[in-house]
């Protein structure tokens, strides 16, 4: 793991360019082959992957607000100290959770939304994603008695609910184009 991290940090520009190219590749191919079903399916999959910004924003804001309130009420911090501590907690300390979250939700999106792509299964796929990703946080909630994990799990559930409607629009638009 240490070697992979060092490699990524040493070659971050190349990895960023390759990642951007891979993400945009389906959209580029769609300009040249708009009727190809494989290109259409890949474009739809990447549109679903790009919707993870909703989860990121909902979880980030809810944990940030909870951390500020908890710092002011529970630890008697001033407002400035609470903001600084919350930024450090959510972005600095939580960076290892964010990397794992994005990698895992990306892999689950790719696996689940590339197998059977019917709108009636979207809710089940999102619920399965939520359950798989939330289980470690529920375990940490019980083990460490840190309520921020419960806030993150509930915020992730809200984010999945918000993604649901956008994913339905994407899957139904793609079905009409075929």
Q: Is the pLDDT of residue 84 over 60?
A: yes
Q: Which pLDDT score is estimated for 54?
A: 95
Cβ–Cβ contacts within 10 Å for residue 36, how many?
13
In angstroms, rounded to a whole number, what is the distance separating the alpha carbons of residues 169 and 44? 11
In angstroms, rounded to a whole number, what is the distance separating the alpha carbons of residues 152 and 59? 6
pLDDT digit string, tens, across residues 95-107 = 888 888 888 998 8
Q: Is the pLDDT of residue 155 over 70?
A: yes
Q: Is the pLDDT of residue 1 over 60?
A: no
More confident residue, 55 or 118: 55
Q: Which residues contact 117 (CB under 8 A, 6 or more apart)?
A: 41, 44, 171
Q: Is 0.75 surpassed by the pTM of this model?
A: yes
- Mean pLDDT in residue range 41-69: 90
Q: Which pLDDT score is estimated for 117?
A: 73
Q: Which pLDDT score is estimated for 126?
A: 94
Cβ–Cβ contacts within 10 Å for residue 76, how many?
9
In angstroms, rounded to a whole number, what is the distance separating the alpha carbons of residues 3 and 130? 30
More confident residue, 117 or 168: 168
Q: Which pLDDT score is estimated for 89?
A: 86
- Mean pLDDT in residue range 82-96: 86
pLDDT digit string, tens, across residues 101-126 = 888 998 899 889 887 777 888 999 99
In angstroms, rounded to a whole number, what is the distance separating the alpha carbons of residues 11 and 8? 5
CA 88, 74, 142, 125 dihedral sign is negative
- Mean pLDDT in residue range 51-76: 92
Rg (CA), the chain: 19
Question: What mean pLDDT is reported for the chain?
Answer: 86
């Amino acid at each position: 793991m240490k070697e992979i991290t060092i490699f990524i940090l040493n070659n971050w520009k190349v990895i960023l360019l390759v990642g951007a190219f891979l993400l945009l590749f389906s959209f580029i191919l769609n300009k040249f082959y708009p009727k190809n079903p494989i290109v259409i399916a890949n474009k739809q999959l990447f549109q679903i992957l790009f919707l993870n910004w909703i989860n990121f924003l909902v979880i980030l804001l809810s944990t940030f607000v909870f951390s500020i309130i908890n710092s002011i009420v529970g630890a008697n911090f001033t407002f400035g100290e609470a903001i600084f501590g919350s930024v450090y907690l959510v972005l600095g300390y939580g960076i290892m959770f964010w990397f794992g979250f994005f990698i895992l939700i990306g892999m689950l999106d790719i696996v689940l939304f590339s197998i059977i792509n019917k709108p009636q299964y979207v809710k089940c796929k999102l619920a399965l994603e939520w359950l798989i990703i939330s289980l470690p946080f529920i375990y940490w909630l019980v083990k460490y008695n840190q309520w921020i994990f419960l806030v993150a799990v509930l915020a992730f559930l809200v984010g999945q609910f918000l993604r649901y409607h956008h994913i339905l629009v994407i899957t139904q638009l793609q079905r009409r184009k075929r």
